Amino acid sequence: MKRVVVIGAGWLGLPLAQWLKQQGHIVYATRTTPQAVQTLEDLGIESFVCQLDQPDGLSDALLERQCDTVIGCFPPGFRQGAGEHYAKHWQNLVQQAKQANIQKLVMISSTSVYPDIAKAMNEQDASLALALDNSAFDAKARILLKAEQHVITSSMDYTILRCSGLMGPKRHPSRFVSKMAQVSRLAPANMLHLYDAIGIAHFSLEQLPYSIINATTPNTVSKAEFYQAALDAVASDLPLPPLCDKEEKRIVCDKLLAAGYRFHFSHTLEAVHGYE
């Protein structure tokens, strides 16, 4: 049994906290406002306010609750223009976790760390050192890698989970189609269902020490085939955007499979229908 705090109980963090509690762990969660904390409390999750731009007091909160594991589950906020704060937030979280003698740190990161190159991407294909002088890594990748570096150099046991495109309840991939200018017949659909994002995070509590891990569905199809299947799954008559033949990176999860994780959905076409 672990004593876990989920920092950022949103679309992924809340069901993760609920699942860990169901599995017998002592679970706490955080949000950034008292109103959001009350919502979590109403759902049966003990919670408290945490704002990582003002982290003072977080270590005391962790010590008071005798937490041994921290899962950082907050997005970088690129769409809101707040991405430049993300690495600083992780630096603050690492410092507070160390002061609270946290034993394990799990970071929910993203496969956006990888360069824009059409090849199979293993975990060693992205690091802050590689990205600094390589134009194939964009600014978002460098921010994410800088945040990861704070975790890697923390001296704590850690697992960094680089999640591919997340889908699940209230995030069906069919919803993304209308926003696409084009879709490729050659680019792989690198996707991960919520159930497996939760499963992999849970798996990492006892496994994957000092590891960076690609978290993506092991078998997939092209983006064109995937998004057509997504539209078919919800009986949508929306047409696909214009097709193209642009090749893109393929995220590989061999390291996770070798560690013994068993996927809920082993193929993205199964995951498209996984909304019971």
List, for residues 237-249, the tens digit of each pLDDT value. 999 999 999 999 9
Tell me the C-alpha distance between 227 and 173, whole Å.
7
**Domain boundaries along the sequence of the chain:** 3-171+192-218+250-264
Tell me the C-alpha distance between 43 and 37, whole Å.
10
How large is the C-alpha radius of gyration of the chain? 19
Tell me the C-alpha distance between 62 and 108, whole Å.
19
| Residue 72 predicted with pLDDT over 90 | yes
Q: Which pLDDT does position 176 carry in this prediction?
A: 94
**Average pLDDT for the chain:** 96
| Residue 216 predicted with pLDDT over 60 | yes
What's the whole-model pTM score? 0.96
Tell me the C-alpha distance between 19 and 232, whole Å.
30
Written out in words, the top-level CATH class of the domain with range 3-171+192-218+250-264 is alpha beta
Contact in structure between 114 and 126 (CB atoms under 8 Å): yes
List alpha helices for the chain, DSSP H. Answer: 13-22, 34-42, 58-64, 86-99, 128-131, 139-152, 194-204, 223-233, 254-258, 268-271
Residue with tokens 């860990």: 20
| Residue 233 predicted with pLDDT over 80 | yes
| Residue 276 predicted with pLDDT over 60 | no
Residue 6 is encoded by which pair of tokens? 């989920």
Q: Which pLDDT does position 81 carry in this prediction?
A: 65
Mean pLDDT of 50-58: 93
| 257 three-class SS | helix
Contact in structure between 143 and 91 (CB atoms under 8 Å): no
Mean pLDDT of 232-240: 95
Q: What confidence category does residue 77 fall into, taking pLDDT thresholds of 50, 70 and 90?
A: confident
